[in-house]
Amino acid sequence: MENLQTKCVYLDFYNPTYKDSLVDYHLLENQKAFTKTPIEALKFCEQDQERHPILIFYNEKPVGFFVLHEGEGTKEFSDHHDAILLRAYSINSVFQGKGIATQSLRLIPNFIKKYYPNINEVVLAVNHQNFAAQHVYKSCGFVDTGRRAVGRSGEMYIYSLNLASNNECTE
């Protein structure tokens, strides 16, 4: 595993100049059942002003992607009006196994506090069979709310991260 102390992981809003790098974005076959590719997710963002696409950069290259969905997007997953939904989270398979997911999840609370100061909760839905994602989310402070939803690949667990508390990843 590469030493992340010599590499920079950061988040930034999607910019169309990075679209070509997202066209050449790969997910493992089993991951495609759980999340949309960035190009698929961007189509939804173009149609919904409450969806905000975010890039994950590693060593100055866009290697990951997710969407922050506010407003109506959170209603199925949280009763709180100050929640935001994290969706379509992925790391390009070429860059997986380097700790980028954990590093990027550590950055999300401060990113949200900076750009969405009224938000106090991050919610997400993770497939009941996506054990790797569940592990990473839990290690970064997300907790299973006990709520369930049905997604395109079956039952999903609804996780929540309280931004009012100090959250640290354990890995």
pLDDT of residue 4: 44
pLDDT value at residue 6? 46
Of 124, 91, 95, 119, residue with least CA distance to 11: 91
Please state, in angstroms and rounded to a whole number, the distance separating the CA atoms of residues 167 and 101: 15
Distance from C-alpha of 24 to C-alpha of 7, rounded to nearest angstrom: 22
What was the pLDDT predicted at 1? Answer: 40
In which domain, by residue range, is 92 found?
4-162
Domain contains 171: no
Inside any domain, residue 130: yes
For the chain (length 171 residues), average pLDDT per consecutive 10? 60 94 84 85 96 96 96 90 95 93 94 96 94 93 94 90 72 53
Is 99 within the bounds of a domain? yes
Examine residue 114 and state whether it is found in any structural domain, yes or no.
Answer: yes
Domain count, the chain: 1
* In a domain? residue 169: no
Q: What's the pLDDT at 106?
A: 92
Whether 11 maps to a domain, the answer reads yes
What's the CATH code of the domain at 153? 3.40.630.30
Residue 121 domain-assigned (yes or no): yes
User: Within a domain: residue 170?
Assistant: no
Cα 24 to its chain centre, rounded Å, is: 19
